[in-house]
Chain A
């Protein structure tokens, strides 16, 4: 159980760090792949508006998922440490 919890904590942290960095620095995707710079969304060039949207609503969704998953993880940890105290 504790091995599983430990691995889960590490993997959740690494995944969320990577996802947060990608969403907060989404302009890099358009710089790395210039072919994506064509096209418009809501009248704006995509390479202007998509990084703004990812840095706002994208991060909002990520942080909601982060809060739910990590708060659930805390409950699992509390359950585990509570079971140790019961023993």
Chain B
């Protein structure tokens, strides 16, 4: 079999597409800079983004470079089960909005840590800010490396030069535009991503002989028989039931706490608008994701029918476009991939700025004037970006391969504190800190990335954090609840009446306080029992 690598037939076309895209990004950044006059503008776009724009921006922030490269590569290698893994990512923002997004939007939080600070106090906020910043740096670093590699193959540049060019150009327009710029740029980037993913696939499907080329995301069913002839295992539901269940603690629970996604809900012009933004998010994200599944399917079909093996699975969609479409289309698809990476970095850097410049500075220097805090926010944003560029020069191997793993870490360390803090008045500050730190450390220790001698699970399930999350996520919830009851009884940092009143307020009750509301033990008890069952299940050999 011949191994195929991506080479853009005409470099100048690539330069043209990239210059045009960056022209738009910088114009939007410059326009947005004029609107940014306060901290609210910088971190939350003045709480003024409408539902369609926000839905598009949510989709772009969530769909990273992995949608164009990683997922297609995984479908190419591991087939249908990775389609199932990817489908559930769509739950992130709907669950986040339902479970705490609208509550925190009512209190005009900048990030989830803003809530943690008010709900549990400064010490708890330090812990959560540390975990969230770690996940954001890991996330942004992965995108930065991907962008550097995209520029490397696009312009035939050495990786380091490509990284410097794309890194500075990206951090520049984000720093100029703040959250206004990030929101409108992300909306534009989502449109570019959808067109780049779906439209060229139509032409590819037509060349491959599918009568459903007119709607690539869902109309390639007539290729099923040919696919099964070439790749009989493509549609097999490999792995046991626990693998499919483990997707919930490992990959559904973590993104709920992702600050750059939560911030997209907070930028909405109202709580009601936030809910309609979610509807648009699902529509646009579904279109993009379904296009990615088609590309993964087509990659397998291409290899089986043409005899061309794809040397680097990450490049599947690019190779398909070079093989079947004109060079300008292939260049535009690379542009779509770049837009995907940039929109996610937008969100990651805004989250770092919000966490450090907004939340952390609010603790360290609460008296600082708003304008000064805003300047520090810009500094945090730029430093976060430069740090990612520097790390990307010689990235620690662990960080590059483990972005998916970080979701399990977030599900363990941050999700319980946020969810129980919003829904349960008895959630205790010390219990939150202890369960977050201890379970987070356990998650890291039992993964194969740090201490390879102590690992729960094996192979891919361990590398992706699935086997670890089956233990530490339920452990974190259960220990948080049990310790909260214990500490409250011992009167150790028990929630104050002000903490409890705040919970009623963010649920929309205004000044109507009721001690019994969100204060029961039956739902937490059910959660503890469920957690114990899942924990025991997770202990069984993988």
Taking Cβ atoms with an 8 Å cutoff, the residues of A that contact B are 2, 6, 9, 13, 16-17, 20-21, 24-28, 30-32, 37, 40-45, 47-49, 51-53, 55-57, 59-60, 62-64, 66-67, 70-71, 74, 77-78, 80-81, 84-85
Q: With A37-B237, A81-B508 known to touch, is A56 a contact of B286 (CB < 8 Å)? A: yes
Main secondary structure of the interface of B (DSSP, over half): helix
By a CB distance below 8 angstroms, the chain B residues around A40 are 221, 224
Q: Mark B251-294, 1 if CB is under 8 A from A, else 0.
A: 01000000000000000000110011011001100110110010
20 contacts between A and B (CB under 8 A): A6-B514, A6-B517, A20-B98, A21-B248, A21-B252, A25-B252, A30-B237, A32-B241, A41-B221, A42-B219, A42-B221, A43-B223, A49-B221, A52-B290, A55-B286, A64-B279, A67-B279, A77-B509, A84-B512, A85-B510
Contact B272 A63 (CB under 8 A): no
By a CB distance below 8 angstroms, the chain A residues around B90 are 24, 55-56, 59
User: A35 to chain B: closest CB distance in Å?
Assistant: 13
Q: With A31-B241, A60-B286 known to touch, is A21 a contact of B91 (CB < 8 Å)? A: yes
In the complex, whether B473 has a CB less than 8 A from a CB of chain A is no
User: A14 to chain B: closest CB distance in Å?
Assistant: 9
Contact B237 A77 (CB under 8 A): no
Among B476-528, those with CB < 8 Å from A are 507-512, 514, 517
Taking Cβ atoms with an 8 Å cutoff, the residues of B that contact A are 80, 83-84, 87-88, 90-91, 94-95, 98-99, 102, 218-224, 235, 237, 241, 244-245, 247-248, 252, 271-272, 275-276, 278-279, 282-283, 286-287, 289-290, 293, 507-512, 514, 517
Closest 5 CB pairs of A and B: A43-B221, A56-B286, A55-B87, A24-B91, A67-B275
Q: With A45-B224, A52-B87, A70-B275 known to touch, is A28 a contact of B244 (CB < 8 Å)? A: yes
Known A20-B94, A71-B272; 12 more pairs at CB < 8 Å = A2-B509, A17-B95, A21-B248, A28-B241, A44-B221, A44-B224, A52-B87, A56-B282, A56-B289, A63-B282, A70-B275, A81-B510
By a CB distance below 8 angstroms, the chain A residues around B287 are 56
Contact B83 A74 (CB under 8 A): no
User: B299 to chain A: closest CB distance in Å?
Assistant: 16
Q: With A28-B241, A42-B221, A77-B509 known to touch, is A60 a contact of B282 (CB < 8 Å)? A: yes
Contact A63 B279 (CB under 8 A): yes
Contact B237 A74 (CB under 8 A): no
A78 to B461, CA, bound (A): 47
Residue of A nearest to B85 (CB): A27
By a CB distance below 8 angstroms, the chain B residues around A30 are 237
User: A29 to chain B: closest CB distance in Å?
Assistant: 10
A9 to B223, CA, bound (A): 46
